[in-house]
Amino acid sequence: MELERAGGTSVRRAALFWMTLGLTVIGLAAAAIAYRIDMSDADRLLDEELRVIAFYAGPNLSADSPRGHVDDDHEIVIQVRDPAGAIVYTSDAALALPAPPSLGFADVRLGPDRWRSYLRAQGSNTVQVSQRASPRRQLARTAALEASLPILVTIPLGWLVVGWGLGQMLNSLSRLAGAIAARGVESHTPIDLDRVPAEFSRLVEAMNALIGRWRLSLDQQKQFLSDAAHELRTPLTALRLQIDLLQADRAELDTALPELARGAGRASALVDQLLRMARYESGERPSESRAIDMSELVVECMADLVTLAETRRVDLGLVCSEPARLNGVERDFHLLVSNLIENAVRYTPAGGVVDVGVRIDEGRVVVEVADTGGGIPDELLPRVFDRFFRAPGLVAEGTGLGLAICRAIARRHGLALTLRNRSSGGLVATVTGPAVPRAAPRA
């Protein structure tokens, strides 16, 4: 069976072993209990037989009664004694059994043999009915074994039933495995749960969830490739047109060269952004992490973008800054903060304001970039981090990958990145993460 050849522990062998062991232990325990109970019941029945014989035979026996013989099957001996203890009647003169110490049941010995006796008062006399212990125990043992035998017989039958039932259950799992193996690589439909054993439904549900995530990831990759091809087609088409113009009229060289450079720059920037996306979405944990002072890093990022802000006549300022450290890779954080500030500057109209702040709130570093631009419709906010997404009505600038890269960097470092509209107009981008405490100064 495939389930056994797959390697590792065999579910069939383990289940058969433990179920067979459990069934055997329970069966033997039940047989032993039944044996003990039946032995006890047989002893009570034989005791009752002695009591009945003493009750009915005693009044009819006297010294003149004929002597009998020992019962060959049950070896029962009846003795009658007078008040002085002398035997006035015995069913076997060769056996002079001692009298029990008191009325009722007792065990007495005669030589090496043990006897079970019942002593009853009959007028002035006493009647003693005794049975040799060995045939008595044999009778009880036979009865107990007869009662226990069916239980012992059912144990191997139980093994067969358990083995068959387990085989049926695992066969259904094998059929499920075969159905999964027969699915095509392009099959995205969930596995049908109707014929799956209840015990495996959670496993199949987890597989369906994995298929769903894989389907979503595949769709995202297809969409990503489609969007990337579309985005690359525009600058490459422009480059081809400029080259065609140059081939047709060399006099346009001075005019076409700047356009060629801009087109090559756009294509190069897009490829660079695509490579960054691939690196940040690879799932690799950063290996060069260290404590980064976000206040200093924000100032550096703002210094790099001052010229852009002045060109667009946007007031870029630092509203608050306090020492706050995050654990991560400096170049990743630099790219994250720079992208957020650059987006705010580019989409804020002339005369607008972009405020950047760094603070610590309840043990978490908070970096905020707030602008006075037009904001984004609330229903589109969940999509702004999608690759190549541009809100309707906005003039398209850049590659459309900036915020997607920001989200990938935040996820890679375990940070929270959110966007929200301001009530007074504009957008606020917030990055939060656990603050790294400063080392205590040495004494």
Burial label, 249 (beta-carbon count in 10 A; 0-12, 13-18, 19+): exposed
Whole-number percent of the chain with pLDDT over 90: 17
Rounded to whole angstroms, how far apart are CA atoms 238 and 23? 80
Structure tokens at 336: 């994250």
Rounded to whole angstroms, how far apart are CA atoms 329 and 413? 8
Q: Enumerate residues 6+ apart whose C-beta is below 8 A from 380.
A: 391
pLDDT tens figures, 371-399: 998 888 888 888 887 776 766 656 556 56
Complete DSSP assignment for 80-123: EE-TTS-EEEES-TT--PPPPSSSEEEEEEETTEEEEEEEEEET
Residue 224 confidence (pLDDT): 62
Residue 238 confidence (pLDDT): 66
Q: Does the structure show a pLDDT above 90 at 365?
A: yes
Q: Which domains does the chain have, with CATH numbers?
A: 2-40+141-180 (no CATH), 60-133 (3.40.1840), 198-280 (1.10.287.130), 290-434 (3.30.565.10)
Better-predicted residue by pLDDT, 258 or 24: 24
Please name which of 47, 38, 56 lies closest in space to residue 104, comparing C-alpha atoms.
Answer: 47
Structure tokens at 40: 């006890």
Question: Which region among 34-48, 93-107, 168-182 has the lowest average model confidence (pLDDT)?
Answer: 168-182
- Identify the DSSP state of 144: H
Contact between 17 and 26 under an 8 Å Cβ cutoff? The reply is no
Q: Does the structure show a pLDDT above 90 at 28?
A: no
Structure tokens at 104: 């009722």
Residue 442 confidence (pLDDT): 47
Contact between 179 and 190 under an 8 Å Cβ cutoff? The reply is no
Residue 33 confidence (pLDDT): 80
Contact between 290 and 256 under an 8 Å Cβ cutoff? The reply is no
Phi, psi of 319 (to 5 degrees): -85, -30
Q: Does the structure show a pLDDT above 70 at 62?
A: no
Please name which of 190, 79, 63, 192 lies closest in space to residue 131, comparing C-alpha atoms.
Answer: 79
Rounded to whole angstroms, how far apart are CA atoms 222 and 219? 5
Phi, psi of 271 (to 5 degrees): -60, -40
* Three-state DSSP state, 29: helix
pLDDT tens figures, 403-436: 888 888 888 888 999 999 988 888 999 999 999 8
Antiparallel, parallel or unpaired: β 315-321 and 353-361: parallel
Contact between 126 and 119 under an 8 Å Cβ cutoff? The reply is yes
Q: How many residues does the chain have?
A: 443
Structure tokens at 25: 């232990």
Contact between 84 and 152 under an 8 Å Cβ cutoff? The reply is no
Rounded to whole angstroms, how far apart are CA atoms 293 and 94? 114
Rounded to whole angstroms, how far apart are CA atoms 134 and 108? 13
- Identify the DSSP state of 59: G
Phi, psi of 350 (to 5 degrees): -55, 140
Structure tokens at 147: 């009662």
Q: Enumerate residues 6+ apart whose C-beta is below 8 A from 34.
A: 144, 147, 148, 151
Alpha carbon distances (Å) from 436 to 334, 356, 413: 18, 21, 13
Burial label, 324 (beta-carbon count in 10 A; 0-12, 13-18, 19+): buried
Q: Does the structure show a pLDDT above 90 at 299?
A: yes
Rounded to whole angstroms, how far apart are CA atoms 106 and 101? 8
- Token look-up 């032993």 returns 32
Residue 2 confidence (pLDDT): 46
The separation between CA 86 and the C-alpha centre of its own chain, rounded to angstroms, equals: 83
Rounded to whole angstroms, how far apart are CA atoms 367 and 360? 9
* Three-state DSSP state, 179: helix
Antiparallel, parallel or unpaired: β 315-321 and 87-90: unpaired
179-193, 242-256, 405-419 — most confident range: 405-419
Contact between 127 and 120 under an 8 Å Cβ cutoff? The reply is yes
Residue 430 confidence (pLDDT): 94
DSSP-based helix, strand, coil % in the chain, nearest 5: 55, 20, 30
Q: Is the pTM of this model over 0.85?
A: no
188: amino acid identity, one letter:
H
